[in-house]
Chains A and B, each alone.
Chain A
Amino acid sequence: MAEVIRALRSAEEKIRARWSLLGPLIFSSFILAALLADLISPYDPWKRFNPYQMPGWEHLLGTNDMGHDILSELIFGSRVSLAVGFSAAILSATLGTAVGLFAGYFRGMADEVLMGITDIFLMIPQIPLIIVLAAFLRPSFWLMALLMGLLWWTALARIVRSRTLQVREMGFVAGAKAIGFSDNHVIFSDVLPNTLYVIAPKFMLTVASAMIAEASISFLGLSDPSMKSWGTMISYAFSRGGFINGMWWWYLPPGLCITVFVLSLVMMAGILEERDIEPVKVD
């Protein structure tokens, strides 16, 4: 009986180990496709062929109403979607980490002011505000990323603050202060590395949220029409009759790409959360 349980556990571990590779594998495939778009794309995404062609050998995923090759659009569109996702996540992670670190480390007045500002930002209805601003300002993917980055740092700030409050009470932080290291040195060299494992999964989830938001805003027709993204592809398929006429090859691939890529990010965030970190004792 014990041997059976051991064998089952070992099989479970093997399956888990293999599954844990799936997220990074999908993630890196999309990143590579975006980086090597010029090399791997079969056509220029703006080149016109016969419109409404079904998938076939010449156009693996068919063409749209303008005769653009869907596969080429998909590959080039990944650049914009990923750029928006990562730019928004980098900006929000930088802001959230800085606010959380300084509030948690210095506490007192700095904590109250920074957390007060965080609470105010938390009360802003973020997606409607981004939609309104995107509608009134000149449509641009960079503006979208900037707005998301400026509005989405609050949750991370709270998480980083909580972790910083724990880390600042640990012996090595007091030891570093006693040795005479500056606050900046202690924050960036001692506290920040010990908060990275809470930042990394949140960063991945922010990339996923920003990509979904980009797709939603593009679907509403509020994005830059001169650039192709997965969101604009779905938007055009909807507004130009792709859905009504059952042209699944037009709207399904970008939808699937968003879903699969977001899934890979969520899987990676899960791996980062579950990853064994070295035990750190609290005084």
Chain B
Amino acid sequence: MRLCSENVSMSYRTGYFGKRSTILEGANLEILPGRTLGLVGGSGSGKTTLGKVLAGLERPSEGRVLFGGRDIWKMEARDFRLFRRKVQMVFQDPEGSLNPMKSIERSIQEVLSLLKVPKRDWHERTLDMLQTVGLSEELLGRRPSQVSGGQNQRIALGRVLLLEPEIIILDEPTSALDISVQAQVLHLLRELQRERGMGYLLITHSAQVVSFMAHDIAVIERGRLV
């Protein structure tokens, strides 16, 4: 199913009588299965906010977000939960993407618990997931601060993949990684897209990353798609 935004605007008011500041203005985007849309823009241009709005993490002040042609904010709770599983987001900071107080194993298993996977299958599913993202079992007992940035990002991606999403919003997924690890993660993302036909919205400010990954490109400047 495709995900799109229709005239999405986002503004905040600080305090009751504060001035309203606009972060997004009339954004129209479409993310299609099997394709990558690169969203490029400078710092503070509204890229992440648009990503969060598309992922249903923030409600737009105006406009609609449509998933499979239905407005996500008019969905019933059950359908919204399904939308949440089908549209996922991977964040920029690999270490901050996982709870520092939980082991890697616990972070993975709580997703399996959410999916109501029987406990006896947890270990097998966890190993399958680690294999998919190219990691070994050794990491399971460690905490996010005890593994590398690239490994954390793969684990965050693996957690998201357990939900079998149709669309993934990738918010600068490689910007905090060194160049060799960046390439590994990008290749993995491309391979997964080929295998599973997922659609990506790739938020980045790197021209190299976007030219390597994206089928289409959108540019955002001061909250407006240009």
Q: Which residues of A contact B (CB under 8 A)?
A: 170-172, 174-181, 189-190, 193-194, 278-283
Contact = CB atoms under 8 A, between A and B. Distances in A.
Given A180-B81, A194-B99, A194-B100, A175 B114 contact: no
Contacts of A278: 100-101, 143, 145
Contact of B97 (A172, A189, A279): A172
Interface in B76-125: 81, 84-85, 88-93, 95-102, 110-111, 114
Nearest to B94: A171
26 contacts: A171-B91, A171-B93, A172-B96, A172-B97, A172-B98, A175-B89, A175-B90, A175-B91, A175-B159, A178-B56, A178-B57, A178-B88, A178-B89, A179-B84, A179-B88, A179-B159, A180-B114, A189-B110, A193-B101, A194-B100, A278-B100, A278-B101, A278-B145, A279-B100, A280-B100, A282-B96
B129 interface: no
Interface residues of B, number: 30
A283 B91 contact: yes
A279 B100 CA distance: 8
A279 B111 contact: no
B78 to A, nearest CB: 12
B148 to A, nearest CB: 14
B150 to A, nearest CB: 15
Contact of A172 (B57, B99, B160): B99
A190 B99 contact: yes
A173 to B, nearest CB: 8
Interface of B: 52, 55-57, 81, 84-85, 88-93, 95-102, 110-111, 114, 143, 145, 156, 159-160, 163
Nearest to B91: A171
A178 B163 CA distance: 11
B29 to A, nearest CB: 18
A282 B92 CA distance: 11
A193 B99 contact: yes
Given A172-B99, A174-B57, A180-B163, A283 B84 contact: no
A112 B170 CA distance: 34
Given A175-B98, A180-B81, A283-B96, 19 more contacts: A171-B93, A171-B96, A171-B97, A175-B89, A175-B90, A177-B57, A178-B55, A179-B84, A179-B85, A179-B114, A180-B85, A180-B114, A180-B163, A181-B114, A194-B101, A278-B101, A278-B143, A280-B96, A281-B93
Nearest to A282: B96
Contacts of A176: 99
A190 B97 CA distance: 12
Contacts of B156: 175
A279 B143 CA distance: 11
Contacts of A179: 84-85, 88, 111, 114, 159-160, 163
Contacts of A178: 55-57, 84, 88-89
A176 B107 CA distance: 10
> Which 8 residue pairs across A and B have the least CB separation, nearest first?
A171-B96, A180-B84, A171-B91, A193-B101, A281-B96, A178-B89, A171-B97, A172-B99
